[in-house]
């Protein structure tokens, strides 16, 4: 077991080292850089699986950096949720990188460095057990994402990038205000210790703690693209390059993860005066996000934009399930999370292949000449659309079904059922319309110069992501029982607090 002591830090250190090595080798051959980047990304998969296996029996691995014990030092904590997020990220990254290797990594400089640093930030944010450290990892992943978003340049990308950067910088400022207030009141930044201290908030400090908690919620809602803070997302995701947009499918989930972590640990049922602080806001806002995201899907003028709005809608579904706050609903959300991430990524990659096959019209919703390789593209589009709208028999349907079943006992049941079912239908209609426009209503003469048929290399990542979704569907039993165990672990934060602080909390 001795070698496993340092296991929790590896998903953080490995991409960082790979990024540094890649930076040093920036003038070497492209294939060497690609090889190292791919190898480092692939290595994250077995690492995440090992951590998942360790965490699956309910163990919470606590890694104290520099052996400074909590709450004085910074800790990394691997519990079921963290391992789940790590595995989702690693699998997504492999396929996003695989797609990037067919050319988009040469459009600008340092793609692989930024990609690895992005993974460094993501993995760190999922693992850390310290609120300020979470801020630092957020900044790392954001800074890498600024670079990736702008990779390749171009007018639209710069314009969307400027908005994305500015709004996230304001968000970072708010994060610091919230962290500062919490530190000023409680004198700690360790999340487990904060949970203990917040539960004993004296009445005179209550308004301060509540405003800090809601400020944190606002920051995470900004990253998760929750209403009314989602307006930056569609432009940013529409204009960036396809593999980056695919990787960014996990970025909004970082916000969702942070909301879930903070809401369950620091503002959970056991938090005394600040119990369930965020819950009153989360479910209604998530419902509204789902509605507006779906309207955006209906009103989109290009396939990439439609995919971006589908990401917004999926965040609505995800946070709705977290907002209902029961074991069953959180489990539904956790089961739905990897599915929706993979499906959105597959749609972004496929949209890129489609726009290459359509030539000058790209992925705009205007009828144009027939595409080369339309059968394969159309077939894949059909499956991806089924997955992303949550039609049976794929995992999205199971996730939504679990959510609806969990909502029966909730006072919001009427709202959840009507909104989830109606938006599902509208999303399906919108995608059916796009599909028929892109593939059936073709006219005009083909432009053989600008239309390129999809290559196997381009479609392999899409097919791979679909296989993962199929895996989620076939092994729905074990996966959903893991999700249920994760939800149960999250909603009983006492165990987490004891694991981190190494003693029975008062």
**Contacting residues toward other proteins, per CB under 8 A:** 132, 136, 139, 143, 146, 150, 153-155, 158-159, 161-163, 165-166, 169-170, 172-173, 176-177, 179-181, 183-184, 187, 189
CB of 176 to other proteins, least distance (A): 4
CB of 229 to other proteins, least distance (A): 15
CB of 171 to other proteins, least distance (A): 11
What does the alpha-carbon distance between residue 77 and residue 64 come to, in Å, rounded to a whole number?
A: 9
Residue 390 three-state SS: coil
- Residue whose structure tokens are 């079904």: 401
Residue 353 three-state SS: helix
Residue among 118 and 181 whose Cβ is closer to other proteins:
181
Nearest to 359 by CA among 371, 348, 347, 349: 371
Residue among 100 and 149 whose Cβ is closer to other proteins:
149
Residue among 179 and 419 whose Cβ is closer to other proteins:
179
Element (H, E) at 465: helix 456-474
CB of 132 to other proteins, least distance (A): 6
CB of 114 to other proteins, least distance (A): 13
Q: Long-range contacts made by residues 163-172, C-beta under 8 angstroms, separation at least 24?
A: 163/232, 163/235, 163/236, 164/232, 164/235, 164/236, 167/222, 167/232, 168/142, 168/222, 168/223, 168/232, 171/219, 171/222, 171/223, 172/135, 172/138, 172/139, 172/142, 172/219
Residue among 162 and 408 whose Cβ is closer to other proteins:
162
- Two structure tokens written together for 29: 């051959």
Whether the Cβ atoms of residue 121 and residue 140 lie closer than 8 Å to each other: yes
Measured from the Cβ of residue 381, the count of other Cβ atoms closer than 10 Å reads 24
CB of 166 to other proteins, least distance (A): 6
Whether the Cβ atoms of residue 351 and residue 360 lie closer than 8 Å to each other: no
Residue among 148 and 394 whose Cβ is closer to other proteins:
148
CB of 330 to other proteins, least distance (A): 32
Residue among 169 and 422 whose Cβ is closer to other proteins:
169
Query: In sequence order, which residues have a C-beta less than 8 Å from that of residue 215 and are 6 or more positions away?
Result: 174, 175, 177, 178, 181
Residue among 212 and 490 whose Cβ is closer to other proteins:
212
Residue among 158 and 414 whose Cβ is closer to other proteins:
158
CB of 180 to other proteins, least distance (A): 4
Residue among 131 and 407 whose Cβ is closer to other proteins:
131
CB of 106 to other proteins, least distance (A): 20
- Two structure tokens written together for 187: 């004198």
Give ∠ CA 75-80-83 in degrees, rounded to 5: 70
User: Could you tell me the CA-to-CA distances from 9 to 4, 12, 58, 324, 401 in Å, in that order?
Assistant: 10, 5, 19, 33, 36
- Two structure tokens written together for 383: 């499956």
- Two structure tokens written together for 80: 């079921």
Residue among 132 and 415 whose Cβ is closer to other proteins:
132
- DSSP state at residue 27: T
CB of 186 to other proteins, least distance (A): 11
């Amino acid at each position: 077991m001795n070698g496993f002591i340092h296991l929790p830090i590896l998903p953080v250190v490995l991409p960082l080292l790979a990024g540094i090595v890649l930076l040093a080798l920036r003038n070497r051959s492209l294939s060497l850089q690609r090889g190292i980047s791919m190898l480092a990304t692939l290595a994250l998969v077995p690492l995440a699986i090992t951590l998942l296996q360790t965490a699956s029996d309910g163990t919470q691995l606590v890694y104290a950096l520099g052996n400074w014990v909590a709450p004085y030092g910074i800790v990394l904590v691997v519990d079921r949720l963290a391992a789940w997020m790590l595995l989702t990220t690693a699998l997504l990254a492999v396929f996003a990188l695989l797609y990037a290797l067919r050319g988009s990594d040469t459009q600008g400089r340092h793609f692989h460095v930024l990609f690895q640093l992005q993974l460094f930030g993501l993995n760190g944010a999922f693992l850390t057990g310290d609120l300020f450290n979470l801020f630092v990892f957020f900044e790392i992943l954001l800074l890498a994402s600024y670079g990736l978003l702008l990779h390749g340049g171009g007018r639209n990308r710069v314009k969307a990038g400027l908005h994305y950067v500015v709004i996230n910088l304001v968000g970072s400022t708010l994060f610091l205000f919230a962290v500062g207030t919490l530190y000023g009141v409680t004198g700690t930044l360790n999340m487990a210790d904060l949970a203990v201290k917040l539960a004993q908030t004296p009445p005179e400090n209550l308004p301060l703690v509540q405003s800090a908690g809601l400020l944190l919620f606002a920051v995470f809602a900004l990253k998760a693209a929750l209403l009314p803070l989602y307006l930056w997302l569609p432009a940013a995701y529409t204009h960036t390059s396809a593999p980056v947009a695919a990787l960014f499918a996990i970025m909004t989930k970082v916000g969702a993860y942070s909301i879930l972590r903070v809401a369950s640990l620091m503002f959970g049922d056991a938090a005394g005066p600040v119990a369930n602080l965020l819950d009153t806001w989360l479910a209604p806002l998530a419902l509204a996000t789902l509605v507006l995201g779906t309207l955006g899907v209906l009103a989109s003028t290009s396939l990439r934009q439609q995919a971006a709005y589908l990401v917004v809608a999926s965040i609505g579904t995800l946070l709705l399930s977290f907002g209902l706050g029961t074991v069953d609903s959180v489990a539904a959300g956790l089961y739905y999370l990897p599915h929706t991430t993979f499906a959105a990524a597959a749609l972004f990659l496929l949209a890129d292949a489609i726009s290459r096959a359509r030539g000058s019209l790209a992925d705009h919703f205007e009828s144009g000449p027939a595409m080369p390789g339309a059968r394969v593209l159309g077939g894949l589009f059909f499956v991806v659309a089924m997955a992303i709208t949550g039609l049976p028999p794929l995992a999205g349907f199971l996730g939504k079904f679990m959510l609806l079943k969990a909502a029966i006992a909730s006072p919001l049941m009427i709202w959840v059922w009507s909104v989830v079912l109606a938006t599902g239908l509208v999303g399906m209609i919108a995608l059916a319309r796009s599909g028929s426009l892109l593939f059936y209503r073709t006219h005009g003469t083909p432009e053989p110069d600008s239309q390129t048929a999809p290559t196997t290399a381009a479609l392999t990542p899409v097919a791979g992501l679909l296989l993962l979704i199929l895996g989620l569907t076939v092994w729905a039993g074990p996966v959903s029982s893991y999700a249920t165990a994760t939800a149960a672990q999250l909603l009983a934060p006492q165990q987490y607090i004891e694991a981190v602080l190494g003693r029975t909390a008062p």
